[in-house]
Amino acid sequence: MSSEHSVYDTPVKSLTGVGPVKLKALEALGVHRLADLLGILPRSYQLRERLPMDELKPGMQAMVVGQVLRLKLMGSPKAQRLEIMLKDGTGYIKLVFFQPKFVAYLRNIEPMTVLTAIGQVNSFNAMLQMAHPKVVLGDKSEELQGVWPIYPELKNLAPSDFNRLIESAFNLIKEKPPQENFSPDILKKLNLMPLLESYQAIHQPEASALHTLLDPAHHPAFRRMAFEELYALQLRLQKHRNAQQQAAAPQVAAVDAKLLFAEIMPFAPTNAQARVINEIVGDLARPIPMLRLLQGDVGSGKTAVAASAARHMSKAGYQTAIMAPTEILAEQHYQLFIKLFGPEKIARLQGSLKSKERRLAIERLKSGEAKIIIGTHALISDDVEFHKLGLCIIDEQHRFGVDQRTQLRNKGKSGLRLPHVLAMTATPIPRSLALTAYGDFALSVIDELPPGRTPISTHILQGEPTKNILLLAEKCVRNNEQAYIIYPLVEESEKLDLLDAEAGFRHLEGHFGGTQVALIHGRMNAAEKDAAMQRFSRGDARFLVSTTVIEVGVDVPNATCMMIIHPERFGLSQLHQLRGRVGRGSRKSACYLISDKLFLSGEAYRRLTIMEKTQNGFEIAAEDLAIRGPGDFLGTRQSGLPIFHHCDLVKHADLIEPARELAIAELP
């Protein structure tokens, strides 16, 4: 049904007027087929009506009506140029023609003849002129008036040439009208125009349509353009998903989620955890590879879900690899898994290992002795081989690129067999965006926090940061609490005049003594970071001063106070992640957003108040998406997100799910 051989696929070189030069210009613009040409949309519209000549200005598109004052044929016979001077009682304009066809057609026009001319106004030697305008005999301004599409500037392609190409594209389409892909019912339900009508409404609009065209996000023709992109993307994703399902995968008989959880965890799963474990275990029981994205707010207990899945695979004799984005996180998972499973079956692999330890770990993966392997991207090094890799778990998946995910998975490839993949993320992605960036994944959501959590009270503090930090730190000492103090930069930057983590560390050290304060920043090596982290998580150090290296996943339940310095420098989702480091035990926790008042604009302040108002990660993510747009929201590493020309994932969010459903129906 998809229009693979429709007229829209005609190469542009078969359009009249496309010679080698124009073809090159078009190809440089990425225009190869008719659909690409019609996909270059006007950036705005202008009303086309007759203008008196004294209102003409260089650069504008205009329609004029006037009498021929005189005609001049110039140049050599081989390169003739015809100049027609036109007047309308308010002024004069010179029309210039170079193309022999037009020169021949117009050279015998009588003076006093009335002409209508449409084209771009230029100024030459202080005289207004139009170079090869469209001309018609007589005053045709009534018939020709309408709405003028204004296209973006195109390199090596004049606006008049582009207009002519669009015109000849429509001429070609009229010869072989293409079939519409979707039924009238569907189009009506989604408020979309049929494709051909959409192209016409956009490129050759009716005069009466001007006001609706100026609101493209809601116009059914522009919506159709957005929908075409979303649908094409979903078809691609669906094809990819179907191809994946041709592969075989280890099949492990399903078990009861609650019992599985109870085998390793000291507490009962939340309902959401149990539901998600059931979804995963259900996937693992099928003979095709799982591709599942697990989203759960910070602290919702994703690690326990991952541990249950690993346990399930290991009992059936398969290995599980868990890849985390930072050494701190990998180390923390490693320590936890040793506690849960005992050391015999667990291995770790990260960049900081000594070569002997590393050799030993690799040996244990290869022999199959290690059933659960936890590491950083060191897991995808060339010399790493698994014995029987059945499941890849990618923690904080948004920190990795698609390639790294694929590389890890391919470590377990044998013949047609691929391991299962579970990707986890604590940055809740609004469903619309998840279906776009992860359309080939099945989605699971943990939408419930473990019991006994108290809400984290959040406060914006403005004024001298050092003073506020000190007051809060003294309160921590009085109440015997632990606190994080997070800075946005590693080093002092004179330009931004921001306090840095090291200065903050020294300041606290001066007041409370060195044993009370630990420091972590990106310039430290893994062993130094680990030592500092250990001091804090054991409770030896009361304060942990850090840059955002601790943003993801760190779990120290005794810490109850979070201070974020210069919060306006962070994205909302990042602030939410940082805040999620506290509120993990049963004691009441607080988060302070500590800003120098001078830095807070109205907009920044409004953004931060969202943090005060809600603790729901999905709400925060939706705000963050609206403020930053999808690209920034997902981050540059998310190569999963395609470039859209017409679709705005926020404004056209309602079209995403239908595009997916229709693609699934097309490619079941």
Residues that bind Mg ion (CB under 5 A): 553
- Nearest-approach distance from CB 303 to Mg ion, in angstroms: 5
Q: Which does 269 bind (CB under 5 to 8 A by kind): Mg ion, ligand ADP, none?
A: ligand ADP
Q: Which does 105 bind (CB under 5 to 8 A by kind): ligand ADP, Mg ion, none?
A: none
Task: State which residue, 134 or 258, has the beta carbon closest to ligand ADP.
Answer: 258
Distance set, CA 252 to CA 11, 264, 289, 604 (Å): 51, 19, 12, 50
Q: Which does 488 bind (CB under 5 to 8 A by kind): Mg ion, ligand ADP, none?
A: none
Q: Which residue in the shown chain puts its C-beta closest to ligand ADP?
A: 301
Residue 299 binds ligand ADP, judged by CB under 6 A: yes
Question: How does 349-383 read in b/e, with b if 16+ C-beta sit within 10 Å?
Answer: bbebbeeeebeebbebbeeeebbbbbbbbbbbeee
- Nearest-approach distance from CB 266 to ligand ADP, in angstroms: 8
DSSP designation for 2 = -
The interface region with ligand ADP, picked from 228-236, 532-540, 551-559, 636-644 by CB under 6 A, is 551-559
Task: State which residue, 504 or 583, has the beta carbon closest to ligand ADP.
Answer: 583
**Count of CA atoms in the C-beta half-sphere (13 A) of 476:** 29
- For residue 649, give every residue at least 6 positions away whose Cβ sits within 8 Å of its Cβ, in sequence order, or none: 432, 433, 436, 625, 630, 656
Q: Which does 465 bind (CB under 5 to 8 A by kind): ligand ADP, Mg ion, none?
A: none
Task: State which residue, 181 or 558, has the beta carbon closest to ligand ADP.
Answer: 558
Q: Which residues share a beta bridge with 116?
A: 65, 136
- For residue 2, give every residue at least 6 positions away whose Cβ sits within 8 Å of its Cβ, in sequence order, or none: 181, 235, 666
Site for ligand ADP in 259-288 (CB under 6 A): 267, 269-270, 273
d(CA 522, CA 381): 22
Instruction: Check: CB of residue 345 under 8 Å from CB of residue 337.
Output: no
- Nearest-approach distance from CB 33 to Mg ion, in angstroms: 46
Residue 96 binds ligand ADP, judged by CB under 6 A: no
Q: Which residue in the shown chain puts its C-beta closest to Mg ion?
A: 553
Computed over its alpha carbons, how large is the radius of gyration of the chain?
A: 33
Residue 300 binds ligand ADP, judged by CB under 6 A: yes
Q: Can you list the alpha helix ranges (DSSP code H) found in 176-219?
A: 184-190, 195-203, 210-213
d(CA 99, CA 322): 69
Pull the structure tokens for residue 310: 């690993």
Residue 557 binds ligand ADP, judged by CB under 6 A: yes
Residue 573 binds ligand ADP, judged by CB under 6 A: no
Q: Can you list the alpha helix ranges (DSSP code H) found in 496-541?
A: 501-512, 526-537
Counting residues that bind ligand ADP (by CB under 6 A) gives 18
Q: Strand order in 589-595's β-sheet?
A: 456-462, 589-595, 559-565, 482-486, 543-546, 517-520
- Nearest-approach distance from CB 555 to ligand ADP, in angstroms: 4
Q: Which of 289, 553, 583, 640 binds ligand ADP (CB under 6 A)?
A: 553
Q: Which residues share a beta bridge with 343?
A: none
Site for ligand ADP in 578-607 (CB under 6 A): 584
Site for ligand ADP in 303-342 (CB under 6 A): 303-304
Site string for ligand ADP, 421-450 (x = CB under 6 A): -----x-----------------------x
Residue 393 binds ligand ADP, judged by CB under 6 A: no
Task: State which residue, 119 or 428, has the beta carbon closest to ligand ADP.
Answer: 428
Residue 289 binds ligand ADP, judged by CB under 6 A: no
Binding positions for ligand ADP, rule: CB under 6 A: 267, 269-270, 273, 296, 298-304, 426, 450, 553, 555, 557, 584
